């Protein structure tokens, strides 16, 4: 990290010197806001050959009543969301084009957010983050080069609050079903000017939030405490941002859903009975960004990040193997005889599994712009260390040498990630624009010690990836443009994949072909995509012992789809937003073990990949500052495994929400009062948005092989009709 920082310092100084030699060079392009430079390297422009959707702060605010960011994005094209607790708060997930959350690359101000080891994004650690988000962009497919783990289904980059010119304060409170409450306070000093001609300014702002929910599922509560603090210094073409944000989460577990019988009996029940079967995690982020515009052609951005995370989940385990798993810490109080006739000592324990990690990031890029040309070159380097350990906090009987909080396993991991990229947008003529993006990424991952099963887990893996992207945009008229692109992405296995014996990387080739139309009050975006995978790590449908999805290599596979989204404003008081995603998602020549034999099943559906996803919103503006929206979402049937087994089928569902926003402009005290309401699942549908599926073999004399394969499935019920109401006071 020190060598990289020295290199970047010399690099910035050299760019500065070069720029000063030609300070009068002019550019006909629009001058960018310095805030936007934070995400310039990972975002794309409206006319780029990358399929994407932009969401503004104002759009997020309309439904921001406490639910997590994935739920707020539920109505975007090809997006499917789910919630373990059923109410959209706590452990929530997002899938895009059928790919799971570990393949959705998430960055905050260009800093990678995905956990380096699991590659997942845990939104439970970003309570009320929508209240501190200025804008976000969702790129579907490979997208442009980004920082951190490669995007295999989408990339989602968030830009935090921009500098506020004026001082302000906000108090937001919302309440709703299942004991849901959100309380938010935001403040800003506004820009405080100093120096000659008020050339310099500083701004200090912050947010504090508290979110609670009992959950739709019994006792699946969520308790989130979060903060966001920011200091900004501006001096002409210099912008320096120092910010910190963090969250403390306390949630009761609902990780394993319900069986079909339990779902039929009581869809709100929670099979867990131990009163403190909870997840507890603290995460704090510290970022420093320095944006410098030297003239209309040259600008640079330097970003530094440190993330500290620490926490555990607590479990009551009855009848666990006392000697084998707990290494003599506890004494067996009972036993059982296994299938081989062996007597296995067991006991009851309460354990905690801990993760203590540190994550350092350095990003830097330089941008050159001139008429018809933009080049962005940069690098990103990160270093992660994680300590994994488990402790016994209670047992029916400790051994003579065992004590409370003794560790029964210890392991550590380190991951280093370095990438360098250069991307260029070139205007070839008045109608044709070219795009090229080249990235090299180099990853090393090492583990030592024991995993949670007390198995030796030593990994030493290195990967080198070359990820090229090229594209063309043809603007046939002022209202129509067409684009095509090819992108290649590579991705390393995650911690659980290595634990399962997977060592090869997966590769994706993504071809996109699109048409954009915008005229008057109508915009239409249409695109075809073909995503061909080698060694894709698909979800098997099974879960590990902590509720995380298990993946396996499927060999060759593909996703072929059509996406259409349209926004039409029919008149001043009525408009609609509609999106349709149709796709086919297949494993090629998929093999599976069934009844003791390996069977070639041919082409099968990829798990958790619905062929139809439709979203729609009718927006009414009956009077000034009042908006009524009726939103609907249809997700077609999907398989929870890769064998097309009918028992693994998750039925399609159609749900609708109603959202109302009304702004009052008082003459004194408050600048504005915004009243919001949200009715989720208006028609009270009982539906399931996620689940799991697995198989097991048992001896059967009636089978030709002596083995018969059985199956099991689990489901995560989502909330029936529920509501949220809130008020925001702005002053």
Confidence band of 149 (pLDDT split at 50, 70, 90): confident
Confidence band of 325 (pLDDT split at 50, 70, 90): confident
Burial degree of 220 (CB within 10 A; 0-12, 13-18, 19+): buried
Q: What is the mean predicted confidence (pLDDT) over 369-377?
A: 94
Look up residue 601 and give its DSSP letter. -
Confidence band of 194 (pLDDT split at 50, 70, 90): confident
Q: Give the HSE-up count for residue 631: Cα atoms under 13 Å, Cβ half-sphere.
A: 22
**For residue 545, what pLDDT is reported?**
78
Two tokens at 245?
């944000």
Closest CA to 150 of 110, 207, 106: 106
pLDDT reading at 490 higher than 60: yes
Largest Cα–Cα distance of the chain, in whole Å?
92
Two tokens at 129?
């983050």
Q: What is the mean predicted confidence (pLDDT) over 359-366?
A: 96
- Helix, strand or coil, per DSSP, at residue 101: helix
- Helix, strand or coil, per DSSP, at residue 12: helix
The domains of the chain are located at 2-153+163-730
**For residue 362, what pLDDT is reported?**
97
Confidence band of 5 (pLDDT split at 50, 70, 90): very low
pTM of the predicted protein model = 0.92
Beta bridge partners of 414: 385, 446
Over residues 6-31, the pLDDT tens digits come to: 444 344 334 444 444 444 333 333 34
Alpha helices in 299-444 (DSSP H): 322-326
Beta bridge partners of 654: 634
Selected residue with higher pLDDT from 100 and 580: 580
Over residues 717-726, the pLDDT tens digits come to: 999 999 999 9
Two tokens at 622?
């009956």
Selected residue with higher pLDDT from 198 and 121: 121
Tell me if 690 sits within 8 A of 142, measured CB to CB.
no
Tell me if 450 sits within 8 A of 326, measured CB to CB.
no
Say if strands 133-140 and 52-56 run parallel, antiparallel, or are unpaired.
Answer: antiparallel
Chain-wide mean pLDDT for the chain? Answer: 91
Share of the chain above pLDDT 70, in %: 95
Q: What is the mean predicted confidence (pLDDT) over 498-517?
A: 95
Question: Distance between CA atoms of 488 and 160, rounded to whole angstroms?
Answer: 29
Look up residue 342 and give its DSSP letter. -
Buried b (16+ CB within 10 A) or exposed e, 319-341: ebbbbebbbebbbbeeeeeeeee
pLDDT reading at 54 higher than 80: yes
pLDDT reading at 375 higher than 70: yes
- Helix, strand or coil, per DSSP, at residue 199: coil
Over residues 205-234, the pLDDT tens digits come to: 999 999 999 999 999 999 999 999 999 999
Look up residue 65 and give its DSSP letter. S
Tell me if 430 sits within 8 A of 151, measured CB to CB.
no
Classify the C-alpha dihedral 22-36-568-52 as positive or negative. positive
Domain spanning 2-153+163-730: which CATH class is it, in words? mainly beta
Over residues 241-279, the pLDDT tens digits come to: 999 999 999 999 998 899 999 999 999 999 999 999 999
Question: Distance between CA atoms of 136 and 303, rounded to whole angstroms?
Answer: 18
**For residue 318, what pLDDT is reported?**
87
Over residues 518-564, the pLDDT tens digits come to: 998 999 999 999 999 999 999 999 988 778 889 999 889 999 999 99
Question: Distance between CA atoms of 649 and 639, rounded to whole angstroms?
Answer: 4
Candidate from 141-150, 279-288, 684-693 with smallest mean pLDDT: 141-150
507 Cβ contact partners less than 8 Å away, ≥ 6 residues apart: 488, 489, 490, 491, 533, 534, 535
Q: Is 226 left (phi over 0), alpha (psi -120 to 50) or beta?
A: beta
**For residue 34, what pLDDT is reported?**
64
Over residues 410-456, the pLDDT tens digits come to: 999 999 999 999 999 999 999 999 999 999 999 999 999 999 989 99
Q: Which of 26-35, 588-597, 598-607 has the highest mean pLDDT?
A: 598-607
Question: Distance between CA atoms of 9 and 12, rounded to whole angstroms?
Answer: 5
Question: Distance between CA atoms of 83 and 70, rounded to whole angstroms?
Answer: 9
Two tokens at 563?
């996406």
Two tokens at 584?
């086919």
**For residue 18, what pLDDT is reported?**
41
Q: What is the mean predicted confidence (pLDDT) over 633-659?
A: 96
Share of the chain above pLDDT 90, in %: 79
Look up residue 268 and give its DSSP letter. T
């Amino acid at each position: 990290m020190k060598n990289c920082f020295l290199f970047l310092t010399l690099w910035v100084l050299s760019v500065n010197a070069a720029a000063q030699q030609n300070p009068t060079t002019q550019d006909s392009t629009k001058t960018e806001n310095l805030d936007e430079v934070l995400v310039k390297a990972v975002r794309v422009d409206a006319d780029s050959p990358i399929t994407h959707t932009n969401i503004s702060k104002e759009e997020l605010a309309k439904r921001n009543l406490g639910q997590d960011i994935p739920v707020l994005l539920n109505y975007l094209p090809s997006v499917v969301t789910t919630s373990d607790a059923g109410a959209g708060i706590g452990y929530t997930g997002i899938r895009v084009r059928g790919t799971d959350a570990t393949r959705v690359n998430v960055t905050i101000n260009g800093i990678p957010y995905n956990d380096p080891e699991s590659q997942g994004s845990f939104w439970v650690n970003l309570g009320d983050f929508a209240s501190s988000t200025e804008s976000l962009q969702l790129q579907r497919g490979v997208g442009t080069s980004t920082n951190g783990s490669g995007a295999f289904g989408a990339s989602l980059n968030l830009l935090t609050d921009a500098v506020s010119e004026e001082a302000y304060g906000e108090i937001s409170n919302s309440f709703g079903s299942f004991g849901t409450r959100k309380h938010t306070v935001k403040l800003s000093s506004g820009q405080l000017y100093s120096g000659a001609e008020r050339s310099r300014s500083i701004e200090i702002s912050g947010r504090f939030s508290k979110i609670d929910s009992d959950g739709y599922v019994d006792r699946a509560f969520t308790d989130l405490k979060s903060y966001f603090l920011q200091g900004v210094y501006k001096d002409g073409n210099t912008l320096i941002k120092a910010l910190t944000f963090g969250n403390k989460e306390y949630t009761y577990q609902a990780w394993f859903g319900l069986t079909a019988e339990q779902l039929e009996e009581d869809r709100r029940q929670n099979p867990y009975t131990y009163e403190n079967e909870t997840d507890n995690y603290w995460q704090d982020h510290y970022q420093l960004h320095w944006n410098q515009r030297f003239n209309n052609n040259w600008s640079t951005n330097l970003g530094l990040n440190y993330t500290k995370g620490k926490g555990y989940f607590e479990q009551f385990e009855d009848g666990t193997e006392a000697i084998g798993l707990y290494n003599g810490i506890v004494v067996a109080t009972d036993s059982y005889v296994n299938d081989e006739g062996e007597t296995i000592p067991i006991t009851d324990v309460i354990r905690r599994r801990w993760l203590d990690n540190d994550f350092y990031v350095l990003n830097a890029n330089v941008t050159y712009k001139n008429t018809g040309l933009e080049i962005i070159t940069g690098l990103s380097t990160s270093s992660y260390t994680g300590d994994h350990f488990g402790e016994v906090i209670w047992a029916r009987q400790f051994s003579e040498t065992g004590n409370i909080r003794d560790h029964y396993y210890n392991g550590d991991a380190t991951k280093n990630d370095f990438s360098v990229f250069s991307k260029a947008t070139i205007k070839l003529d008045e109608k044709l624009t070219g795009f090229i993006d080249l990235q090299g990424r180099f990853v090393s991952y090492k583990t030592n010690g024991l995993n949670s099963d007390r198995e030796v887990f030593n990994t030493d893996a290195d990967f080198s990836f070359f990820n090229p992207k090229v594209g063309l945009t043809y603007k046939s008229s002022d209202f129509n443009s067409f684009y095509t692109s090819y992108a290649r992405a590579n991705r390393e296995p995650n911690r659980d994949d290595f634990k399962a014996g997977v060592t090869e990387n997966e590769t994706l080739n993504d071809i996109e072909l699109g048409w954009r139309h915008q005229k008057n009050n109508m915009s239409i975006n249409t695109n075809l995509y073909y995503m061909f995978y080698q060694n894709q790590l698909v979800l098997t449908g099974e879960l590990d012992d902590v509720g995380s999805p298990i993946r396996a290599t499927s060999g060759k596979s593909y996703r072929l789809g059509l996406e259409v989204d349209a926004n039409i404003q029919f008149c001043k008081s009525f408009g609609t937003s509609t999106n349709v995603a149709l796709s086919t998602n297949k494993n090629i020549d998929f093999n599976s073990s069934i009844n003791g034999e390996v069977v070639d099943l041919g082409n099968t559906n990829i798990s958790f990949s619905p062929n139809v996803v439709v979203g729609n919103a009718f927006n009414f503006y009956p009077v000034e500052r009042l908006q009524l929206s009726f939103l609907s979402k249809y997700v077609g049937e999907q398989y929870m495994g890769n064998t097309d087994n009918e028992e693994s089928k998750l039925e399609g569902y159609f749900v609708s929400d109603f959202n109302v926003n009304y702004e009052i402009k008082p003459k004194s005290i408050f600048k504005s009062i915004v009243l919001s309401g949200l009715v989720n699942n208006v028609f009270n549908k009982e539906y399931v948005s996620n689940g799991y599926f697995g198989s097991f073999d048992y001896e059967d004399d009636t089978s030709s092989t002596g083995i018969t394969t059985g199956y099991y499935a689990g489901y995560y019920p989502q909330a029936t009709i529920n509501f949220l109401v809130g008020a925001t006071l702005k002053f």
